[in-house]
Structure 1
């Protein structure tokens, strides 16, 4: 009886520990330029992220900035604030892979992987084709 209880406790602790490490990227992150916060959240079994704060959310006319560089004409008028820029990340052995990142400055979407460095740095690797041909930005957790 005691062995069974101990085994159940160890199993529960290992499952909880796994889910906590998979959710470690959930929260707000400051981009490398310091002008935006990205809120990362869990959606089902994958992770996504949206622009939650912009240092300059409005254009010169005082209106909200829009997704004017988007290649799809019908999306060019949507506001950038609240825009989902990270999609489809799956947790895989301390990495979040197989996702995509959208850059509203250029209107381009890239393949992307995320890796935590410590608890407060997130390596964001955007690339085309294979991951060694790309760029890594470091985001900082917002406390």
Structure 2
């Protein structure tokens, strides 16, 4: 019994250390899509990361100033909200050098998709997919200075 308790405390200590990895917070910046049409800001709550859309040309009406409404949201109560500063990504956790287990919200169809993120230098690679990552799409972002 003592060896089981020792083993459990060792594993929980390793898990806590992995979650407190200072490399995990490298994501906490403003990132700009390589096409320059969007900017997102990553935030942290506990050991979970999320991103807010802070600018996006596709979220604007034809006048280029007014934000569109979230008309395809699966929650009818949210369909009248604007797409200004909405939560784009939620639930990301850091493990083994990448951020995984996240969901990304697509306001254009009201669906959420899986997302995994890696960072190389000043470049963030966002893999968005439904089901298996190999069938997804990678979106490249750069550190906004």
Name the TM-score class by shorter chain. Answer: 0.7 to 0.9
TM-score by length of 1: 0.78
Aligned length: 126
CA distance in 2, matches of 1:31, 1:103: 15
Aligned to 2:5: none
TM-score by length of 2: 0.77
Indicate whether 1:101 and 2:104 are aligned.
yes
CA distance in 1, matches of 2:25, 2:47: 10
Indicate whether 1:67 and 2:70 are aligned.
yes
| Match of residue 116, structure 2, among 107, 113, 117 | 113
Aligned to 1:21: 23
| Match of residue 39, structure 2, among 37, 52, 64 | 37
Unaligned runs of 5+ in 2: 1-16
Deviation at 1:56, TM superposition (A): 6.6
1:91-129 C-alpha deviation (Å, 9 max, x unpaired): 0011000101112233221011000022x1111001111
CA distance in 2, matches of 1:58, 1:130: 31
CA distance in 1, matches of 2:74, 2:94: 29
Deviation at 1:63, TM superposition (A): 3.6
Aligned to 1:135: 137
Unaligned runs of 5+ in 1: 1-14
1:3-41 C-alpha deviation (Å, 9 max, x unpaired): xxxxxxxxxxxx7xx632110011101124312210001
CA distance in 1, matches of 2:23, 2:57: 30
